[in-house]
């Protein structure tokens, strides 16, 4: 179980700990199941756009001092698929 579950302020006990084991409380089980569903939904949303191809013009407006501090991108690199 990630430490995230023990550090959030949800005002209920999620774990029962003894010297030999750690178990989820009933609230902890419900919390874990709900978080699992949410993370699964987030993965699904992220994968919706994985196959799409970016198209169109990208316009970037920057202050001149910022532009000078950036490295320039070779023109051929801008047409490659983004990471």
How do the domains of the chain map onto residue ranges?
A: 4-77
CA distances from 61 to 18, 37, 48, 66, 79 (A): 58, 39, 29, 10, 19
* C-alpha–C-alpha distance, residues 17 and 25, integer Å: 10
Output 45 or 64, whichever has higher pLDDT: 45
Q: What is the pLDDT of residue 66?
A: 65
- Please tell me what DSSP assigns to residue 81: P
Q: What pTM was estimated for this model as a whole? A: 0.50
pLDDT category of residue 23 using cuts at 50, 70 and 90: very high
């Amino acid at each position: 179980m990630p430490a995230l579950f023990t550090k959030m302020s949800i005002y209920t006990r999620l774990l029962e700990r003894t010297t030999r084991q750690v178990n989820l409380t009933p609230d902890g089980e419900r919390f874990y199941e709900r978080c699992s569903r949410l993370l699964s939904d987030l993965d699904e949303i992220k994968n919706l756009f994985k196959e799409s191809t970016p198209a169109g013009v990208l316009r970037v407006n920057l202050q001149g001092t910022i532009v000078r501090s950036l490295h320039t991108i070779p023109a051929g690199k801008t047409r490659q698929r983004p990471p």
